[in-house]
Amino acid sequence: MNRGPTGSIVSGPRIGGEVVRAFVPAPLPPDPPLQIGPELREEIDQALLNLGRLDSVSTLLPDRGLFLWMYVRKEAVLSSQIEGTQSSLSDLLLFEIDEESGLPFDDVREVSCYVRALERGVQRLREGFPLCGRLLREIHAELLSEGRGSERSPGEYRSSQNWIGGDRPGRALFVPPPPEHVPVCMGELEGFLHDQPVRTSVLLKAALAHVQFETIHPFLDGNGRLGRLLTTLILVSEGVLREPLLYLSLYLKTHRATYYDLLQRVRTDGDWEAWLGFFVRGVRVTAEQAVASAQALAELFRADRARIQDLGRAAGSALQVHLVLEQHPIQTIYSAAARTGLSIPTVTSALRNLEAAGIARELTGRQRHKVFGYRRSLDILEDVQDGTAPDQ
């Protein structure tokens, strides 16, 4: 539907001798209201059904915390890759056990900050803190606490004009609101998140709020990552997901050109329905993939435990080390010994047995200070990371 622009063009500050022409979005919800036909309604219902299945993922794995721990890290890698980092999931896990990842330190540290930012946001919601501008600034401060962007006012709304694409505002693909409009726009977005002026169903709220946040672009850096986190935080705060297990970064990365085009069509034409269809399909596909990953991991763990039982007397220690690898799939001999309480020689022998069985693999090729990975567990998660979502 073409409603026309969903905001107004205003004059901003002079930059390089030219007056900035910036876009200030109208408050949500859209006016006139969304037109949701039968096909889109069916897509929304299916997405909600898949979210329900995802929320029940604890029935598929003996430890939902394990899956959450791994999945959060996978999402952190994907979201940061969209921003240009080169880190892989294995790089992050190596970094977290203080091993060299082989990549620029800032790349892996940026991903690590994303993990901490998400964990902080979810913790604050569980403490009863509302999803609001103050919380988003808190999360942003964590997101940019180290590495690239740490000098760009973490946790503070911008006080200068920014733009997207081009070497100056006059050549930009999009120019967000002037800085003096940001607090008002974010206040209106906060009201919408709290169902003011009207109650909005959760998927519609998440879809509309994402566009609005990206349009306001309230920070000097980190807007894309925080905008992607916002979707997950809305689903958790609204009680649709008990754990932050829904991440759209792979879907958005795979369909990046369509994603940016639809954001701009909302701004210029008011075509919220096209965006909503894209967003809801992303939720449906992503939830399906998360459940499939959980099922694959559960089956892998069951099958490998059965294989380890065939090791005879060596099975006991091998099973203990295998359990550690289930929970944290990259380990050194020393970290596995600390987690299991077994001796260094016992852990070394257990890892050799797991390596011979094709369950673990040594990742560094070094003679000393070896690092072992749970080969197929990492493959399940990194296959999703490096592959592409079904084209919808």
**How many other C-beta atoms lie within 10 A of the C-beta of residue 379?**
14
Max Cα–Cα distance, the chain, nearest Å: 79
**SS3 assignment, position 25:** strand
Cite the DSSP H helix spans in the chain. Answer: 38-55, 64-82, 89-96, 105-126, 133-143, 182-193, 202-216, 223-237, 249-254, 256-269, 272-309, 315-327, 333-340, 344-356, 375-386
Q: Which CATH number fits domain 7-293: 3.30.70.420, 3.40.50.970, 3.40.47.10, 1.10.3290.10?
A: 1.10.3290.10
Overall fold of domain 310-382:
Arc Repressor Mutant, subunit A (1.10.10)
CB 29 within 8 A of CB 266: no
Residue with tokens 């890698």: 77
Provide the angle, in degrees to the nearest 10, between the axes of the packed helices 223-237 and 202-216.
Answer: 160
**How many other C-beta atoms lie within 10 A of the C-beta of residue 42?**
11
Report which of 233, 230, 245 is spatially closest to residue 65, judged by C-alpha positions. 245
Q: Which residues are paired to 360 by β-bridges?
A: 374
CB 79 within 8 A of CB 249: yes
For the chain, the domains span: 7-293, 310-382
Q: Give the predicted TM-score (pTM) of the model.
A: 0.86
Q: What is the pLDDT along the chain (392 residues), one digit of tens a residue?
A: 778 999 999 998 888 888 899 999 999 999 899 999 999 999 999 999 999 998 887 566 656 666 666 667 777 677 767 766 666 666 667 666 664 544 455 666 777 788 889 889 999 999 999 999 999 999 999 999 876 666 778 999 999 999 998 888 888 999 999 999 999 999 999 999 999 999 999 999 999 999 999 999 999 999 998 998 999 999 999 999 888 888 788 898 889 999 999 999 999 999 999 999 999 999 999 999 888 888 888 899 999 999 999 999 999 999 999 999 988 888 999 999 999 999 999 999 999 999 999 999 998 777 778 889 998 988 887 665 443 333 22
Cα 351 from Cα 373, distance rounded (Å) = 10
CB 384 within 8 A of CB 74: yes
Cα 254 from Cα 388, distance rounded (Å) = 6
Residue with tokens 């911008």: 158
Provide the angle, in degrees to the nearest 10, between the axes of the packed helices 89-96 and 105-126.
Answer: 80
What pLDDT does 294 receive?
82
What pLDDT does 253 receive?
84
What pLDDT does 67 receive?
66
The CA radius of gyration of the chain, in Å to the nearest whole number, is 23
CB 291 within 8 A of CB 284: no
Structure tokens that stand for 152 in this block:
């760009």
List, as one string, the DSSP characters of 209-253.
Answer: HHHHHHHH--SSS-HHHHHHHHHHHHHHHTTS-SS-----HHHHH
